[in-house]
Amino acid sequence: MRDRIFSICKGIGIILVVLGHSGCPGYLSRFVSLFHMPLFFISAGYFFHLKYLNDEKTFVVRRLRGLYVPFVKWSVLFLCLHNLFFWTGILNEKFGTASGGVLHPYTWQQFQQRVWSCVFNMSGYDEFLTGTFWFFRALLVASLAYLVLFKLLRRVRWLKSDVQIGWAICAIALLLALWKVVGGLRVTGLAQGGYRDIMGVFFFGVGFLYRQYRHFVPMNWKWAAGCFAFLLLATFTFGTSMGYTANFVQFISFPLPALAGFWLCYYVSKRIDAWGGWLARGLDYIGERTLYVFAFHFLAFKVVSAVVVAYYGLSWLQVGGHPVVYHGGGGDAFFLLYTLVGVGLPLGVREVYLRVKPDEPVTLSTLSRAGRAVRDWATRVYDSCKRIVEASLPKDD
């Protein structure tokens, strides 16, 4: 079931994700980091239907097609291009993160290992250009884990309703995350230790519960203003995020701001949907295609980085700064251009591709026919040129 309000909400969310990576001022980055990632997990959980408890195959197949397949396809693509990016300078061994971290070209062995890691545990992707790909894994794990937990807890007799089961899953996820943070533990087999995946289960469950209680939440301007004020307080006091290295304070201070941020975005989305017009259509369009922005906005940033390098007269290698150019560009407004291009370019390239791609699938027979057509065309051009050259040669008397 499609809900335009949630599509607009996700559109706002992905713009905030790109903004948070754009080198924006620190207070703005802290603000959006409080809630921009949980928003997507809550939105996914909102659309979890109980019918999937008896139709697990449909749910699992949809999750795999929508998350695992794009992850593997795009991860391996970037791995194949990794060394080429070094040749162009887009990646280099001199400039990288603000802390000085850089990447290196892959050996054949490293490339193979990373491909295996991408396929078998959704890790090993390029740390710079695909650094946001953890989201694909975390949402997939959270979705499947929620389905399994729901089916298991339905067998617990003292949980008498599906709403109680939803509360129980959220409590279990929070307790597991607390245990992990306090004990310094890692979930073996999950890249980055599993913190984001466990918190993903919690926020997925929050989305399911919100659907049950949505009529009790007063979605008015007063409620939204209260959420905004709370987010401002959190920004300038205990700013936190969904970082996988969260400590106890970051963990305990995260759920409430994340929920407040979701409510604020949902209220704004509801108002935009009511107004209609180009803004609603544009955010709806973006919200339905967030995965493309997730996947390619870091690469799109390189276009703006080239502009920054030219504007300040910097070395071309500084284009390799991740995710933006840090040297010489501090304190300017280029983060706005980074955000615009980071959202617009991936979607624009996608639209161009959809317009030029063949209507029928590319098969070996299709390629064979195309090859014969090119060969015949080249033969005709060659024969024509040959006749012209022969006609221009002097004739023997």
DSSP for 293-340?
HHHHHHHHHHHHHHHHHHHHT--GGGGG-SSS--SS-TTSSHHHHHHH
Flag whether 306 is in a domain: yes
Q: What is the predicted pLDDT for the residue at 356?
A: 82
For residues 309 and 318, what is the distance between their CA atoms, to the nearest angstrom?
A: 7
50 lies in a domain?
yes
Print pLDDT tens along the chain (397 aa).
578 999 999 999 999 999 999 999 989 999 999 999 999 999 999 999 999 999 999 999 999 999 999 999 999 999 999 999 999 999 999 999 988 899 999 999 999 999 999 999 999 999 999 999 999 999 999 999 999 999 999 999 899 899 999 999 999 999 999 999 999 999 998 999 999 999 999 999 999 999 999 999 888 999 999 999 999 999 999 888 899 999 999 999 999 999 999 999 999 999 999 999 999 999 999 999 999 999 999 999 999 999 999 999 999 999 999 999 986 555 578 999 999 999 999 999 999 988 887 666 666 676 577 667 767 777 776 677 666 656 655 655 5
| Domain span at 282 | 4-356
- pTM exceeding 0.75: yes
Which residue, chain included where needed, has tokens 């939105």? 43
- Does residue 373 belong to any structural domain of this protein? no
Q: Tell whether 370 is covered by a domain.
A: no
**376 within domain boundaries:** no
390 falls within a domain: no
Please check whether residue 140 lies inside any domain of the structure: yes
- HSE-up (13 A, CA, CB side) for residue 62: 12
Q: What is the pLDDT of residue 213?
A: 93
On whether residue 382 sits in a domain, the answer given is no
DSSP H or E run through 137: helix 134-153
CA-based nearest residue to 309, from 92, 126, 100: 92
Question: What was the pLDDT predicted at 389?
Answer: 59
> How many domains does the chain divide into?
1
Q: What is the per-residue pLDDT for 364?
A: 62
Contact residues for 331 (Cβ-Cβ < 8 A; gap 6+): none
What letters, b where the CB count within 10 A reaches 16 and e where it falls short, cover 64-76?
eebbbebbbebbb
> What is the structure's pLDDT at 98?
85
